Amino acid sequence: MGIIEKMRLDGKKIFVTGGARGIGKSVATAFAEAGADIAIVDVDLKEAEKTARELQENHPVQAIAVQADVTKPRDVKATTTKILDAFGRIDVAFCNAGICLNVPAEEMTFEQWKKVIDVNLTGIFLTAQAAGKVMIQQGGGSIINTASMSGHIVNVPQPQCSYNASKAGVIQLTKSLAVEWADKNVRVNCISPGYMGTELTLNSPSLKPLIEQWNKMAPLHRMGKPEELQSICVYLAGDTSTFTTGADFVVDGAFTCI
């Protein structure tokens, strides 16, 4: 079998949190193109159902929508139960749901701080933990977490201390889980995207005005497109990445190099 054939995901059962739109939707589409059955997990059920329908209509795979808030342990537990009922197993988890808040540190309320840490770090822990439990029982699996270049650098000018701290946490959480679960055949990796054109950036009142400035700073003078994260995720989900665990893939057009 050639390398491209080996990279296909036929028959794999994958869930994607924050899969209704943006990076999650784009990567879920690539997983479906590669032959996997997909559960779109999102707090926004209407959008999740729309995305699942699109995948189902355009690819010969099964796609379901599951409503869950990744910060709620009960929702996350119910999610794995629903996916196991529908698909029978979980081969890959793309733990990707995240939010961003730009507030100066000295003005940030406890609730604002907690919200970002809850979704971006605790949410990834809860979903990775739930997937990991299933995968350990099955004898293996692959978990991909979405961190950010903000876990590596303090990108300016927006004040984002809670976001930056949450994403640095995701990188270290990924490495910790990779080591804990290495002998259980559960691989855990993360991606650290640079600025990508999604709702999070393009339609955020506080971030949108900064795009021109970022583009001037960026070595490629542009933001990334969500589809530019597809191939790395398909690689990490599949069976050609069996020696890749505990890795953090920075996909940022060299933004963190400057």
Binding site for ligand NAD (CB under 6 A): 17-18, 20-24, 42-44, 47, 68-71, 96-100, 119, 123, 146, 148, 193, 195-196, 198-201
Exactly one of 12, 13, 82, 167 is catalytic; name it: 167
Active site residue 192: no
Active site residue 162: no
Between 17 and 174, name the residue whose CB sits nearer to ligand NAD. 17
Give the bridge partners for 88, in sequence order.
none
Residue 135 near residue 78 (C-beta atoms within 8 A): no
Between 119 and 186, name the residue whose CB sits nearer to ligand NAD. 119
User: CA-CA distance, 33 to 19, in Å (whole number)?
Assistant: 15
User: CA-CA distance, 15 to 143, in Å (whole number)?
Assistant: 10
Least distance to ligand NAD, CB of residue 21, Å = 4
Between 37 and 42, name the residue whose CB sits nearer to ligand NAD. 42
The token duo for 69 is 């808030």
Least distance to ligand NAD, CB of residue 247, Å = 16
Longest CA pairwise span in the chain (Å): 57
Least distance to ligand NAD, CB of residue 221, Å = 16
Active site residue 167: yes
Exactly one of 148, 150, 162, 166 is catalytic; name it: 148
Handedness of CA 150, 152, 17, 108 (dihedral sign): negative
Between 119 and 236, name the residue whose CB sits nearer to ligand NAD. 119
For residue 130, the one-letter residue type is A
Residues, the chain = 258
Give the bridge partners for 196, in sequence order.
224
Catalytic residues: 148, 163, 167
